[in-house]
Structures are given as C-alpha cells and as structure tokens.
Structure 1
Amino acid sequence: MTSPHNPVGAHVPVAGGLASGGLKYAAEIGAEAIQVFVANPRGWALPEGRPAEDEKLRARTDVPVYVHAPYLVNFGSPNAETLAKSIATVRHSLVRGRAIGARGVVVHTGSSVTQTYDEAMAQIHEHVLPLLEEIPEDGPDLLLEPMAGQNNMLCTKVQDLGPYFDRLEHHPKLGVCFDTCHAFAAGHDLAAPGGVKDTLDALVATVGEGRLKLIHANDSKDPCGSGRDRHENIGAGMIGEPPFADLFTHPATTGLPVLIETPGRAPAPHAKDIKTLKTLRDTL
C-alpha cells in the first residue's frame, strides 16, 4: 500500500482493535499510512495494550504508523496536576507507540494559560527534556505540532518552534508535525502563490533539516490568521486544493507521510480526500 514517495493516509478509528479496526478502515479509504489514538483523546486514562493487536500492527511494516497524544496534554500548564498527567500521558503514548511500531508520537505544543511564556518554557525544559531522554534510540520520535493561535499558545507560527527546540536542547528524538490548517489559522498564508514553499522554508530555517517528520493535510473552514482550528475537506476550504500539491514538491517533505484529519461521515469523504491527495501527488 505504501507509495515510494509520500504515503498518503489518515487518522483512523480503532473500534475493534488498533490493528483489526484501524487497518480495516485504512483499506476501505485507501490509506497508505495511519495515525491512531492509544488512549481516550479527551481523558487521562492510560489503558494497557492488547499484545495480539500490537503485534499485528507492528508486523505491517508497509504501513507507517503514528500515534496522536490525547488533546488534554499541556506541557505549559501552571496546574501541577495537569502537568504531571500530561507527562504521564505522553510517556504512555511513547511506550504504546513503541509497542505498535509507531514512528512518532504527535503532541500539541500547549499553552501557558495564566503564567508567563518564560515560566511555561522553563517547566518544559525541566519536565519534557527528561522525557525525551527516556526514548530509545530506535524511537518513536516526539513530534511537536504547532497550534492554531488562540489562548496563549506557546507555538503557533513555525518560527515559534525555535525557542521550543532551544529549551529542549535540540534533542535528537525531537521532531515536527506540520498541520496545514493550524499553520493557515496561525497566519501562514498557504493559499497565496508560494505560500507553502515560504512556510516550509521558514520551518527548515528554524529547526534545521530533517526535523520535519510528518504532515497533517487539512483544509480550513476559516480564513488565514483566524486563530480557529476547524478542519475542512481537501479543496473545500479556504486553503483550496492547489497548495496541497505544493506539499509534495518541497525538499523537506520528501518521503514523509501525509495524513488527513478531515471531517465527514466515514468513510466516503475520507476516501475522497485521500484520492484527491494521491492524484495531486501522482500527477506532479
């Protein structure tokens, strides 16, 4: 199922099991790579895995797998309990990700909430750097995903990744997940001529070559700079279809999986989005 260039895939539901449910849905929509939750995305529970399902997924080396950490995670929270749960949750995602053969664990970069930016970044250095040190050499990587731009977010523009990487001492297990909707909402005009190239150039200039590990391809319901994270199907939003073709031509994205997190009743709209992206990829 994997493309020799950029595998195109999706975040998939895992009802029935990570492998049994996730891979079945991937086949239905034509996904060549997948992203999964290994815990409730809106809770703090840390469930154990099912060894048989883990092994099935780990054995599918032709399908790149990624984990998305739960949405409640916030490394910048001033609340000690939230911070402790965030670290425990991401540690769980990393351990479970390793068990299923995931290449990376995606985590939102978080918000300072009521404390200062410097206070939040200091605690990220104190608590997240040791977490990175726990990751074995063969992964998975921890992939920072910049946010859309509301509520004292610590990282929205790709340039904001610079201080984040500095605080984490450019750890070798640290990477980036680039979300098109988030970037557009944060003010990167991907719909403008050359907008995708300019944004990815800025990302590479900020964190260095080889740090971009994954693309989330989502159109946006809202205009550039809105600060609102509302995904739309490919070509149906304010970014439009042509900029997604540019994702496949930038040197920094060579070989990287491109995953959708788009809306709609499954599986029809997701299959259509994947087909659209494959067409853009294969006609370049």
Structure 2
Amino acid sequence: MPKASSTKTAIKFTRSTTSKFKFGAHVSASGGISKSVTNAFNIGCNSFAMFLKSPRKWSAPPFTTEEINKFRQNCIELKYDPLTDILPHGQYMINLANPDKEKAEKSFESFLDELRRCEELGIGHYNFHPGSSLSSGDHEKQLKQLANYINIAHEKTSFVKTVIENMAGTGNLVGSDLNDIRKVIELVKNKDRVGVCIDTCHTFAAGYDIGTEQSFYNFMNEFDQIIGQEYLMGIHLNDSKAPLGGNRDLHEKIGQGYIGLEVFKAVAHCDLLCGIPIILETPQEKDEGYGEEIKLLEWLEEIGDKPEEGMEEENEKDNKLLQDKIVYLQKLGENSRKKQMELFEKKKNGKDNKAKKKRSNNDDDIITKLAKKVKR
C-alpha cells in the first residue's frame, strides 16, 4: 500500500491523479472557510466536505468578501471544482420535518442561509439531514412539509442542489427508510435540484445489509429501484460500530467495524460511484488519519482480480495482502464491536421481555373475563 510522505511541518499526502474516484474527507474550516480547501489538499482529498458555520449554533457572521475570494482562488489554484468536488454538511439542528411550526421556521431560516452561503462560494451541492417528524407529528404530513420547505428554498436560490442524507434510526426519523426519501423527491418540483447522499454507516445501522460485496451491490440495486441512481450525488463512507439494524449512528474507522474492509473494496471498484464525492467521516483524532484512509481506499482500488493472462500470481499476492489487512483492522476494532453488541443485545432483550409481559397481561385479562362469564 502506498505510504504517505512527510515534511517538517506536517504529514503530506499526495493527491491522486490516477484514481477514478473522488475519495475525500470532512475537513475543518476553522480560521476561515478558505482554510477548508488547503486542509483538504494537504491530506490528498479529491473531494471534501466541511461545515459552512458552526453545526450547533443557529447564527453566524456572514462570509467576508475577502474570505469568499480567497476560497474561490484556493479552489482554482488547487484544482477543485466547487460545483462537483465539494459537498458541505448542513447544521445538525436543522429539522425541516418538525411539526412545531415555530421551530420548523427557525430551521428553514438556517437552511436557506446555508444554501445562500453555498452560492456565494460557487458550491453546487449541499448535504443535510432530513430531520424527524417527532412523536407529536404525522409522519406522512411532515414529509410533505419537508418537501415544501425544499421547494421554497429552491425558489429563493439559484442553482445549489439540495442533497438528502439517509439516516440510521427508525420510527419518527426521516430517511432511515429509503421510501421516505422517494416520497420527498416526488414532491419536489425541480427534480434537477434535489439528490441523495448515502451514508454507509447509516445504511447498515438502519437494517440494510451491506456487510458483503454482494449485499452491497444488492443494496445499490434496491436504491436504484426505489429512488433512482440518477439522484445519487455523494457517499459518506464510514464503517459502523453498531451491528446490523442497531439504529445507532456510530461511525467507525474503515475496516474496524461491522461492515468490514471487503465492502470498502467493493466501493473502490464500483463504477456507479465514479465522479461523485466519496467523503470519509470516520472518528479521527487528526486529519492525517483521513489521509491514511484515503490512501487505503486508493490501494483497494488498485488491487483485485486482474483478468489478464499471467496475472494469477499477482492476484494471489494481492488477495493475501487484503486478507492480512482485514484481520489487522478487525483486531483493532474488536473491543468496540464487542461493547456495542452487548448493548444491542441488552436493548433487544429488554424489548422482548416488555413485549412478553404485555402479551402475558393480555392473556390474563382474557382468562379473567372468561372466568367471570362462566360464573354468570
């Protein structure tokens, strides 16, 4: 696997010019939005994401003209196309499906502000969490509300595409079921300005099995049938600390979680994903960790079953290296996976016991009623 070079000031990762894929990461914009471009370049990103303002504060000062110009200039110098290579992440607090009208309006104000910030920077796509209908709302009604807010936002902006992310939870959370996203897109008037970002951790945690190469491709086919491949605008590439169907948004480093490295090799060979941002959001202490993972993904792209005659020995060697890497990474994440499995089973057993108790109480009620009827 290729090694990163180093300098006196920081580890540097050379940006690939041969990869078919736009592997990248979510980087910091601390110190100014223009810094996100250089931060991405320094770890070898071919695409990147960042927050446009604090993800946990409603308001933020506007971008200065100087900072906007610096961002645009950095993109030109470092050869990033803001229309296709950058996928900013929306604020976590935004919930356009909130049944509380006042809170939904507050979310919309922030949503619209972020779309306008994208257009100031020349960015073509904006990714956001679709929110929740909460326990007080009617889910179908709130999906219509979400779509209506997207339509209004499109009317008030010019070109940025709103990209809906699938989610990890169940019940009131919008987007853990692909059909939620399909229904919203059906209600969006300008189909050219809406898309979807698939988060691999969210997908797995929501109960869609992508734990093998074949099941990953099965999911991609299901996505195409339900939503349509033409709407896929980005990937958030994360392993999962939580087991299949755990409904917990717990990102893990590539190869260390329950999804495993085999699937990320499939991603690195999936032609359907060429040309769109593939963004790492794994739990890294430093950006250099993303640089290492990008190089890992590019290595996975290079290895595989080479069909040419006489390549059998090289294929065998590649497969041995891959299996060794799988074992090594799974060992690193072993304790974390074990802990989350214990929590998952404890929660599941609690639900089962609660259901059994409810059924038992219902049985008792029936027996009591029958006994009274016999006495009469």
1:12 is matched with 27
Match of 1:260 among 254, 259, 280: 280
- 1:154 equivalenced with 2:174 (yes/no): yes
Match of 2:106 among 85, 88, 101: 85
| Aligned 8 A contact 2:87 2:277 in 1 | no
Q: Which amino acid aligns with 1:26?
A: A
Q: What is the rounded CA distance, in whole Å, between the counterparts of 2:188 and 2:175 in structure 1? A: 14
Match of 1:57 among 67, 71, 90: 71
What stretches of structure 2 of length at least 5 have no aligned partner?
1-14, 305-376
Shift of the 134–206 alpha-carbon distance from structure 1 to 2, 3 Å rule, reads farther
Higher Cα Rg, which structure: 2
Q: Any idea what the Cα deviations from partners look like across 1:66-89, whole Å, max 9, x if unmatched?
A: 211100011110122221121111
1:192 Cα deviation from its structure 2 partner: 2.9
Shift of the 205–251 alpha-carbon distance from structure 1 to 2, 3 Å rule, reads farther
Q: What is the rounded CA distance, in whole Å, between the counterparts of 2:105 and 2:206 in structure 1? A: 28
Match of 1:121 among 131, 143, 150: 143
Q: Which amino acid aligns with 2:201?
A: C
Shift of the 23–246 alpha-carbon distance from structure 1 to 2, 3 Å rule, reads same
Q: Aligned Cα RMSD in Å?
A: 1.9
Q: What is the rounded CA distance, in whole Å, between the counterparts of 2:30 and 2:146 in structure 1? A: 34
Match of 1:23 among 21, 33, 37: 37
Q: Any idea what the Cα deviations from partners look like across 1:127-174, whole Å, max 9, x if unmatched?
A: 2222123332xx321000011114611211333321121222462200
Q: Which amino acid aligns with 2:103?
A: T
| Aligned 8 A contact 1:218 1:261 in 2 | yes
2:96 is matched with 75
TM-score by length of 1: 0.92
Q: What is the rounded CA distance, in whole Å, between the counterparts of 1:217 and 1:51 in structure 2? A: 33
Q: What is the rounded CA distance, in whole Å, between the counterparts of 1:46 and 1:85 in structure 2? A: 14
1:249 Cα deviation from its structure 2 partner: 3.3
Q: What is the rounded CA distance, in whole Å, between the counterparts of 1:193 and 1:255 in structure 2? A: 21
2:261 is matched with 241
Match of 2:163 among 125, 133, 143: 143
Worse-matched range after superposition: 102-111 or 265-274 = 265-274
TM-score by length of 2: 0.70
What stretches of structure 1 of length at least 5 have no aligned partner?
none
Q: Any idea what the Cα deviations from partners look like across 1:53-106, whole Å, max 9, x if unmatched?
A: 322332415222221110001111012222112111111111111122222100
1:36 is matched with 50
| Aligned 8 A contact 1:213 1:256 in 2 | yes
Q: Which amino acid aligns with 1:212?
A: L
Q: What is the rounded CA distance, in whole Å, between the counterparts of 1:134 and 1:250 in structure 2? A: 36
Q: Which amino acid aligns with 1:125?
A: A
More helix by share: 2
Q: Which amino acid aligns with 1:188?
A: Y
- 1:91 partner SS: helix
| Aligned 8 A contact 2:151 2:188 in 1 | yes
Q: Which amino acid aligns with 1:38?
A: L
| Aligned 8 A contact 1:217 1:260 in 2 | yes
Q: Which amino acid aligns with 1:10?
A: A
2:249 is matched with 229
1:254 Cα deviation from its structure 2 partner: 2.1
- 1:186 equivalenced with 2:206 (yes/no): yes
Worse-matched range after superposition: 151-160 or 184-193 = 151-160
Q: What is the rounded CA distance, in whole Å, between the counterparts of 2:161 and 2:88 in structure 1? A: 10
Number of residue pairs the alignment of both structures matches: 281
| Aligned 8 A contact 2:213 2:266 in 1 | no
2:124 is matched with 103
Higher relative contact order (Cα pairs below 8 Å, separated by 6+ residues): 1
1:282 is matched with 302
Worse-matched range after superposition: 274-283 or 252-261 = 274-283
1:187 Cα deviation from its structure 2 partner: 0.8
Q: What is the rounded CA distance, in whole Å, between the counterparts of 1:210 and 1:118 in structure 2? A: 24
1:172 is matched with 192
1:241 Cα deviation from its structure 2 partner: 1.0
